[in-house]
Amino acid sequence: MFVHVDLHTLTGLTDHPADLAGHGPLPAHIAREIAFDPRSTWRRIITDPHTGAPIDAGRHRYRPPRVTDDHVRVRDRECRFPGCHRPSHFTDLDHATDWGNGHTGRTDPDNLVGLCRRHHRLKDAPGWSYHLDRATHRLTVHTPSGRTHTTDPEPVLDQPPF
């Protein structure tokens, strides 16, 4: 089920009714309660107050929406484990900070990294740790032997000189 609510109503600036998909209008205070309840099974859709176009589809689910999935796969291009070149369309999207870990384990591009199945499973093996920098998307891998390796996402296109 989708609860459609404009951004101004969601933030409390206005009290326009939301729309409960397939059922009709929903009072603003109930829409806000549903949207911010961490136990809610409803999916929050935030819309632009002027155009009604969706601007956010919520990120409180384990599996990313298709647009997020595509974004991460295009950004990463291949498995991000150092030295692995398996194409991203064959990788798993992994939460760098475990999903559900408070508000930090969100399902968004800044917490997702493409890893082939082998390197995805290795992440949880004893002595291994992975860290994804949310700003640069640099992946740092610490091995059980104490070595550290990093990878950065490659640019999709080279920037032309000016």
Give the burial string for 122-145 (b: 16+ CB within 10 Å, else e): ebeeeeeebebeeeebebebeeee
Low-confidence residues of the chain: pLDDT under 70? 1, 41-48, 53-61, 100-104, 156-162
Does this model's pTM top 0.75?
no
- Mean per-residue pLDDT over the chain, rounded: 83
Strand segments, DSSP code E, in the chain are 2-6, 18-20, 24-26, 43-47, 54-56, 92-95, 112-115, 129-132, 139-142, 148-151
pLDDT tens-digit map of 48-57: 677 776 655 5
Q: pLDDT value at position 42?
A: 63
Q: pLDDT value at position 83?
A: 94
Q: pLDDT value at position 6?
A: 81
pLDDT tens-digit map of 112-138: 999 999 999 998 899 999 999 988 999
